[in-house]
Amino acid sequence: MAHAASTPAQPDGATGVLVLADGTVIWGKGFGASGDAVGEVCFNTSMTGYQEVMTDPSYAAQIVTFTFPHIGNVGANGEDVEGKVESAVGCVVREDVTMAANFRSEQTFTEWMAANNKIGISGIDTRALTRRIRQTGAPNAVIAHSPDGEFDIPALLQRAQEWAGLEGMDLAQRVTRDEQQNWEGGYWTLEGGYGRAARDATPHVVAIDYGAKDNIFRNLVKAGAKVTVVPAKTAFDDIMALKPDGVFLSNGPGDPAATGSYAVLVIKALLEKDVPLFGICLGHQMLALAAGAKTTKMHQGHRGANHPVQRVGEGWGDTTGLVEITSMNHGFAVDGDTLPDAVEETHVSLFDGSNCGIAVKGKKAFGVQYHPEASPGPQDSFYLFEKFVGGLG
């Protein structure tokens, strides 16, 4: 059986623990649900939107380390849930969860975590953990919370070491909708909450759900589209039977090459039929795969609401070189060096130069690596929804 080398003594009052696959044991104070869960440890630099982050299906099978120390100050509510399917399994925070102090709060973050079966640990040196991830990569780990402080560390370590990790894992099938849905939700306002989508609107966008955030669909509605959402493995003929003016390829979790084993064939067929396409995050990566590029697992990934992205290449006119501050959540990326001649790079990260956008030449097909729906995050990139919907017949 696996064992932890030089496991630090459990401090008095420790009710939470993070056990990394290399044997590192980090003690803290547990909150939220009791039990344990396995996943990849990542970090997110957002200063707001912790509930949206924790309900983003793109975080399925991940443990989120929040670099912002004060988590919980706006509580939790039913309106800020981005997906009602599998998402982040837990989170790591620096300070004890802050008491809610916001008029929209319906319950504390601790209560919400427990109700949604998510495990949290506070009292962790998140700066040191983030530095470790940046230096050595995102580790596999088990997060555990036991109110009585009883833990079987060797068993937790063995589980962390035996978990296969995200590379080669198709998670889209675990988080996609089970059946077709006519999207009815409109954009949110402080005065009226969520509006209603006009089902008689045109153009008609069919959105393939690989693990989408709900706010993406709301932004398509805001840009003027009628949206029909379909499951990840929907066949090409079934999509075309809906008579789409354009097809949206959503964000989602896992390895794009694994999900692409069935999705890329559909995307290729859509490209051959000259159906306008817009991909975000995982959808962007699979659009690149369908066009002949390759994807790769990143060392630490990009996750946060402060990522600078620059517009490059032709087609931007006077705005070439403009920098957008964007919201990101991805651990895989398109390898820019593998883009074929038929694909133009349109956006790059100013953090590391990685690819953040492509356009297929001669087609109405483009994608971006970041999340332009900004929930949470800046709203610099809403123009992409207008570009897509406005270009549909």
Q: What are the residue numbers of the active site?
A: 281, 371, 373
Residues near 313 by beta carbon (within 8 Å), at least 6 away in sequence = 320, 344, 345, 346, 359
**Rounded to whole angstroms, how far apart are CA atoms 346 and 356?**
7
Asked whether 233 and 262 are in contact (CB, 8 A), the reply is yes
Token pair recorded at residue 383: 């123009």
Alpha-carbon distances, residue 18 vs 21, 25, 85, 111, 119 (angstroms): 10, 6, 24, 21, 11
What DSSP designation does 336 have?
Answer: G
**Rounded to whole angstroms, how far apart are CA atoms 103 and 86?**
28
Strand order across the beta sheet in which 246-249 lies: 181-182, 226-231, 204-209, 246-249, 277-280, 365-368, 355-360, 343-349, 295-311, 323-334
Report the helix count and the strand count for the chain, using DSSP H and E: 10, 19
Alpha-carbon distances, residue 94 vs 57, 68, 267 (angstroms): 24, 8, 43
**Rounded to whole angstroms, how far apart are CA atoms 74 and 107?**
9
Token pair recorded at residue 252: 């989602």
Alpha-carbon distances, residue 55 vs 58, 78, 300 (angstroms): 9, 11, 21
Closest CA relative to residue 311, chosen from 271, 274, 359: 359
**Rounded to whole angstroms, how far apart are CA atoms 5 and 19?**
12
Question: Cis (ω within 30 of 0) for the bond into 154?
Answer: no
